[in-house]
Amino acid sequence: MKSRFVIYTLLLIFSVLFATTATVLAQEESIAIDPANIEQNQECFKCHGYSTFSYFNSNTEREVKQRMNPYFIIDSLEYYASNHRTFLCGDCHSSECGEFPHSGQARMEPKFSCMDCHAGDDTHSQYNFEKIEEDFHKSVHSSKHLDDFTCSLCHNPHTYKISARTNEKVADFILYDNEICLSCHANLSKYQLLTTKDNPNVLETHAWLPNQVLHFSKVRCIECHTEINNEILVAHNVLPKELAVKSCVECHSKNSRLLASLYKYQFTNKRSDLGFSNDAILEESYVIGANRNYYLNAISIILFGLVVVVLLIHASLRIIFNSKKRHE
Ligand code: HEC
Ligand code: HEC
Ligand code: HEC
Ligand code: HEC
Ligand code: HEC
Ligand code: HEC
Ligand code: HEC
């Protein structure tokens, strides 16, 4: 008896251990990066990963230490967490960048755009890159006077990591996505890469919105500034400011537009699983008007139930009473 108990316990422990290792391994496999690539990229990171770099000046025969242009610094941790973490720098940049100083040729070389690789990309068809591009070309950022606006200005090719689709914490991807917009709308030098206009202060232009801090941490800029597009998860058509959502009921109502934007991923998955509607919102926050009141719902169901019971009792009493009457 005792030995059997010991065997069962051991089996149980082993299977738990096995399951945990398998999950950990499976997770690690998804981020596996060829060590040879890391070594090769280190040739670039030794300068582009730090605020200073050194090189040997053969004219003066001295080792020279200089500051790296801050815009040319790439955080290696962010790089190895990004969508393109398995890439060599040389997959997108000229091999001539391996020499220092970099040649003029390397500098003038055209850079890849996202669509150079992702147009007709069947392995990533779930993103629907074509539709995203179409949406982007309709947006204010892509109008004629902003010719130089590219996807890379919002999606840094070295650090962009899909977020809304994969991050389970809504608060996290709200922050991530809003930072993309604020990287220009709260940063004059990046904004002025594209225009000589003044950059209006976002806090001032949204002063009409009550409890602004709460709103900016609970919804994304794109909730109010894009046209909803059911073919893609993240709408890319940023509309002119006149068309931005200003009406409170667009969100604070039962058919909240948040279900088709912010909570789209959670919502579509939930809906197919459980047949629920604004459950996704309820889990993350209580948006006045958008969430049904469950206590009221429960009370009304109880009341309805009571009415049915009373009716049933009443009806059966009448049947019994009537049949008695007939027998008399
Ligand atoms: C010895 C230090 C050093 C190394 C090693 C180095 N770089 Fe650079 N890189 C620089 C400096 C300094 C600049 C800015 C000045 C310039 O453009 O020459 C720069 C600029 C760049 C630019 C921007 C050019 C432009 O103006 O658009 C790219 C792209 C680049 N490097 C890629 C790479 C890649 C890829 C590697 C690895 C294969 C690499 N670098 C290795 C120092 C280095
Ligand atoms: C998926 C393609 C891709 C990979 C991989 C990539 N880059 Fe880039 N890189 C680009 C593009 C595109 C630009 C131009 C960005 C822009 O103009 O907005 C760029 C610009 C740069 C610049 C100039 C800074 C800037 O923002 O204009 C440097 C420096 C640079 N890359 C270095 C590197 C290094 C070092 C690596 C490897 C660790 C690397 N890149 C890997 C696509 C890539
Ligand atoms: C040089 C070709 C190339 C360029 C340029 C490029 N990509 Fe990719 N991208 C790839 C490849 C290949 C993969 C698959 C990588 C993998 O699975 O390790 C990928 C993966 C992705 C993924 C999926 C990540 C995932 O985990 O499912 C996204 C999203 C993405 N890229 C977006 C972009 C965006 C946005 C740009 C422009 C800023 C861009 N890519 C530029 C080749 C490219
Ligand atoms: C004005 C800024 C902006 C521009 C320009 C832009 N995007 Fe995006 N894009 C975003 C934001 C914000 C997200 C949400 C990021 C996240 O959570 O993954 C996003 C998400 C994405 C995603 C992930 C969508 C998903 O289903 O998970 C892809 C792929 C993408 N963009 C590709 C592109 C391509 C290709 C271009 C150029 C044709 C482009 N983007 C231009 C802001 C922009
Ligand atoms: C690379 C910089 C950059 C990024 C990133 C960026 N914008 Fe813009 N945006 C601009 C510039 C520049 C203009 C001004 C265009 C003009 O009128 O000349 C603009 C215009 C706008 C307008 C139109 C204002 C009007 O006058 O009608 C809105 C709305 C807007 N952006 C929202 C967003 C949102 C939302 C995001 C994030 C998804 C975003 N922007 C990301 C640079 C940027
Ligand atoms: C609750 C909806 C809502 C949210 C969230 C929101 N906006 Fe707006 N935004 C508007 C409306 C409405 C206007 C037009 C205001 C007006 O005309 O008085 C506007 C105006 C703007 C303008 C044009 C300002 C000007 O006067 O030129 C920019 C740029 C902008 N928003 C960017 C952003 C950014 C970046 C974020 C995210 C940090 C954001 N918005 C979040 C609704 C919103
Ligand atoms: C883009 C969608 C959206 C729009 C438009 C919007 N809200 Fe909200 N609002 C939210 C969300 C999401 C919350 C956060 C709920 C939470 O988690 O507490 C919120 C919270 C609030 C709160 C705070 C509730 C509390 O618990 O403290 C008030 C008040 C409010 N909104 C009023 C308004 C008014 C007034 C307008 C119109 C001028 C407006 N909202 C427009 C989405 C929106």
pLDDT tens per residue, range 247-258: 999 999 887 888
**What is the reported pLDDT for 7?**
62
What local confidence, expressed as pLDDT, does residue 275 receive? 39
* Residue 105 sits in the same domain as residue 56: yes
Would you say residue 121 lies in a domain? yes
Check if 100 has its Cβ closer than 6 Å to any atom of ligand 1.
Answer: yes
CA 115, chain centre distance (Å): 20
Q: What is the pTM of this model?
A: 0.86
CA distance 22 to 32: 15
Q: Answer yes or no: is 26 within a domain.
A: no
For ligand 1, atom 16, the nearest C-alpha belongs to 102
CA 253 to centroid of ligand 1, rounded, Å:
52
Domain boundary among 110, 145, 174: 110
CA 325, chain centre distance (Å): 72
Closest CA to 137 of 155, 150, 153, 156: 150
Note whether 151 and 113 are within 8 A (CB). yes
**Distance from the CA of 155 to the center of ligand 5, in angstroms?**
14
List the residue whose alpha carbon is closest to atom 29 of ligand 3: 162
Q: What is the pLDDT of residue 321?
A: 72
Segments of the chain with pLDDT less than 50: 1, 21-29, 271-277, 293
- 50 plus 148 within the same structural domain: no
Measured in Å, residue 114 CA sits from the centre of ligand 6 at: 27
Q: Are residues 136 and 241 in the same domain?
A: yes
Find, among 284, 288, 220, the residue nearest to 251 by Cα: 288
- Are 251 and 265 a contacting pair, CB within 8 Å? no
Whole-number Å distance between alpha carbons of 183 and 199: 12
- Per the structure, the complete domain to which residue 52 belongs is given by 31-110
Domain-terminating residue out of 86, 110, 134 = 110
Please tell me the predicted confidence (pLDDT) of residue 90: 94
Q: Is 277 in the pocket of ligand 3 (CB under 6 A)?
A: no
Q: Of all protein residues, whose CA lies closest to atom 3 belonging to ligand 7? A: 251
Residues 138 and 227 in one domain: yes
Q: Is residue 15 part of a domain?
A: no
143, 219: one domain: yes
Q: Are residues 103 and 145 in the same domain?
A: no
Residue 86 belongs to a domain: yes
Q: Are residues 242 and 156 in the same domain?
A: yes
CA distances from 275 to 132, 190, 260, 268, 280 (A): 29, 45, 16, 10, 11
Let me know if residue 13 belongs to a domain: no
Whether residue 125 has its Cβ less than 6 Å from ligand 3: no
Which residues, at least 6 apart from 76, have a Cβ–Cβ distance to it below 8 Å?
41, 45, 49
Is 149 in the same domain as 207? yes
Phi, psi at residue 82, to the nearest 5°? -80, 175
Question: Does residue 84 sit in the same domain as residue 167?
Answer: no
Same structural domain, 126 and 193: yes
Residue 18 lies in a domain: no
| pLDDT at site 273 | 43
- Could you read off the pLDDT of 82-99 as tens digits, one per residue? 999 999 999 999 988 889
Distance from Cα 132 to the centre of ligand 4, integer Å: 7
Share of the chain above pLDDT 70, in %: 77
Q: Is residue 213 part of a domain?
A: yes
220 and 317 in a single domain? The answer is no
Judge whether 156 lies within some domain: yes
Task: Pick the ligand that lies closest to the CA of residue 190.
Answer: 5
Pick the last residue of a domain from 110, 143, 173: 110
Query: H/E/C letters for each residue in the chain?
Result: CHHHHHHHHHHHHHHHHHHHHHHHHHHHHHCCCCHHHHHHHHHHHHHHCCCEEEEEECCCCEEEEEECCHHHCCCHHHHCCCCCCCCCHHHHCCHHHHCCCCCHHHHHCCCCCHHHHHCCCHHHHHHCHHHHHHHHHHCHHHCHHHCCCCHHHHCCCCCCCCCCCCCCCHHHHHHHHHHHHHHHHCCHHHHCCCCCCCCCCHHHHCCCCCCHHHHHHHCCHHHHHECCCCCCCCCCCECCHHHCCCCHHHCCCCCCHHHHCCCHHHHHHHHHHHCCCCHHHHHHCCCCCCCCCHHHHHHHHHHHHHHHHHHHHHHHHHHHHHHHHHHC
Query: What per-residue confidence (pLDDT) applies to 143?
Result: 72
CA-nearest residue, atom 39 of ligand 4: 151
If one counts the domains in the chain, the total is: 3
Task: Determine the pLDDT at residue 221.
Answer: 96
Does the C-beta of 215 come closer than 6 Å to ligand 6? yes
Cis-peptide, bond into residue 101, ω within 30° of zero: yes
Same domain, yes or no: 93 and 212: no
